[in-house]
Structure 1
Amino acid sequence: MADHVSSTGDPAPGDPAPGDSAGDDAGFYSKGPLRLRGSQVPETTTDQSLLDSRGPSDWTHEDPWRVLRIQAEFVEGFDSLAKIGPAVSIFGSARLSPDTPEYQDAREISRRISARGNAIITGGGPGIMEAGNLGAGEAGGASIGLGIELPFESGLNGHVELGVNFRYFFVRKTMFLKYSRGFVVMPGGFGTLDELFEAFTMVQTGKVTSFPIVLFGTAFWQGLIDWMTTTMLASGTISDRDMNLFTLTDDIDEVVDIIGTAIEGEQQ
């Protein structure tokens, strides 16, 4: 199937994202445990169907059945990840290719964290996610990818050893939070920000504890931190304590030390 792009510049459903090294999954569209291609690729994602409130009221009869599918995704995720041991999630853009400094930094961070006995969990896609899985594999650690059904990405990158594909974002997010002992957040887009603020919220509200969050890349993240300080903190919508929920750094040694010390402290 020839590659083509939509009017927005994103790959069309069923086509691999630019730079995607999905291995045997290349060219396939992932829909939960299914791999689809060509005419079998759906026009909408499962999440979109669940959340779309337009149209007739037939959805009132379909949603109870969706609960069973959602339950099955939770069971599959819990069963697949229960024995991975301590793990760290690496987040970042799918659009940063191997020739970027961010990709190489993510690869080295993952390699060194994994060398300390920790599994690496990513979203399973290209870019920073691929770098995280590659680094884990180079250190001989567990390389895990939690994929998601999206209209413009297909399959897991070729460095994932344990991969789980999800239909629903909220199930996937639960797996990241449940099985990760810390987050390393590289430069990224909306998806990265979504995961970052999800982590902030869970730590702030005490839903997860002893959970280090490290933002890597001062030049990229400083503007956001400045806005949080001058706008959110200044207006009283967050507290001084909230600004201590994370560490901002450009130092790989510091990242590895923060994450490793936190996890090893829990194990003592």
Structure 2
Amino acid sequence: MNTVIAKNEKYDFFSDKYLNINSCGKLFNTGYKILRKNGRSDYHLLYVKSGRCNAVFDGKEYTLTDGNFVLYYPYQTQEYSFDETGCTTLWIHFSGRASAEILSELNIKPGAYQSRLSDNGTAIFEELIREFHLKHYMHHSAENALLIYLLTLLSRHIHTVQDVSDIERVIMLMNISFDIPYNSEPYAKMCALSQSRFSHKFKEVTGEVPSRYFIKLKMEKARELLKFSNLSVSEIAERVGYDNALYFSRIFKKYIHLSPTEYRTKTK
């Protein structure tokens, strides 16, 4: 395998702009290794769209496949290779006086990440590359916006644990089962958590304890039915899981600050 020792690269610099895309692109790579022993003066993100790349970080070798990536900070040794089967990568070198602050705020540390980034992240990356090369009007602003969004997606990806994706599944289920009484037990089992841990994790993700979140969902659905249907208050109460229309009306007023009848009169 040929080793390309990269040095004196044209776009290796640190910009004093807020953010700056020094260079970026999309390549199909086969049978060679890149080595920057002293790194570069900018940040480098290498993302594997398809195939396999072997990246070395802090002396440890990682095999990166579809959706994996490695991020090098300035002056860190950069070493990665592509075998003969080929690998398609998206890459970017960026700098700017806000770079360190943005990465710190997003809690993105240098390293190799082997869990898979979403297809949405790939699409954002490719749109950034298009903006950079097509140079449309205000392309710098578009590039910076896309870079910040891409880094945000990376941060979410890096720091989203299985608990959170399970909570998202619970939220989706709640949105289609608002007509039943709240019961934390099956939701906690879905997440393989105790009921108390499930409640804590749910609040971390949504800002609400699950029972209150579920009631608010019911009230939002009731508001829709009051505004856009001719169903009676009793029928709407039943649709959102309340056998007792008077109890439903009390809950509705507590959350919406109007009785169901007052709300319907005001919004019709």
Shorter-chain TM band: under 0.3
User: Given the two structures, how large is their TM-score scaled by the length of structure 2?
Assistant: 0.23
Q: Over alpha carbons, which structure has the higher Rg? A: 2
Between Structure 1 and Structure 2, the one with more strand by share is: 2
TM-score normalised by structure 1 residue count: 0.23
